[in-house]
Structure 1
């Protein structure tokens, strides 16, 4: 049971571990697997779903990439680099 748990990167809970054990020929029910997992301190880690945070289909001005990722300059204050953060409100993006 612990081998299946760690091979799944600690993501399998009692239903999936029960299914795997039954496929290996063990006669075991989910309630028993749940009980053993609690005794062993095994809890499945939930995978967070990917959340899209960018919107490429917008009507805002897109600034030209003049630096082309060459950030090394010889004269101080010749080039300034910054990041633009968009915050969504009820009225739209700020």
Structure 2
């Protein structure tokens, strides 16, 4: 409707003034004149945010802004990556990154394995018969500390 009115008035007034008064772009008018679509269906921030939340839930939080932008565009709505990023960060929507599985044990080595002399007997009959130990590390201002402890399994004293 706006473009048709501009088309009738453009012989009497400059095109830039008509487009400014009706708050439309000159490129939109020219696209309408060529027979194309004057405006692609641009979503408001609230509508785009709803679509982003829907996509985020649909893909179980795995998609970040680049993939969500691609998905929004594939659904026929124009959106820039910067706009999607801005809306996502302003509303606390973030992609969940899966932690990679890291193998920390090499069970196929050729080294000798110590025998299991304790054999899961954690309740000895006398003191000073069975012991267990552990070590850990803690970062301090002076560097790494490596505290270790040895416990008597009979009375749990060190």
TM-score, scaled relative to structure 1: 0.60
Larger Rg: 2
1:27, CA displacement in angstroms? Answer: 0.8
Unaligned runs of 5+ in 1: 64-78, 83-94
Matching of residue 30 in structure 1 with residue 81 in structure 2: yes
Q: Which has the higher helix share?
A: 2
1:56, CA displacement in angstroms? Answer: 2.7
Structural mapping, 1:1-94, within 5 Å: 1-61=52-112, 80-81=119-120
Q: Which has the higher strand share?
A: 2
RMSD: 2.4
1:60, CA displacement in angstroms? Answer: 2.6
**Greater relative contact order (Cα < 8 A, sep 6+):** 1
Unaligned runs of 5+ in 2: 1-51, 122-158
CA, structure 1 residues 29+46, in 2 after alignment: closer, same or farther (shift >3 Å)? same
Give the stretch that moved more between structures: 15-24 or 53-62: 53-62
Which contiguous aligned blocks of 4+ residues in structure 1 show a shift greater than 2 angstroms?
Answer: 60-63, 79-82
TM-score, scaled relative to structure 2: 0.38
Deviations 1:64-91 (A, max 9, x none): xxxxxxxxxxxxxxx9338xxxxxxxxx
1:34, CA displacement in angstroms? Answer: 0.5
1:44, CA displacement in angstroms? Answer: 1.4
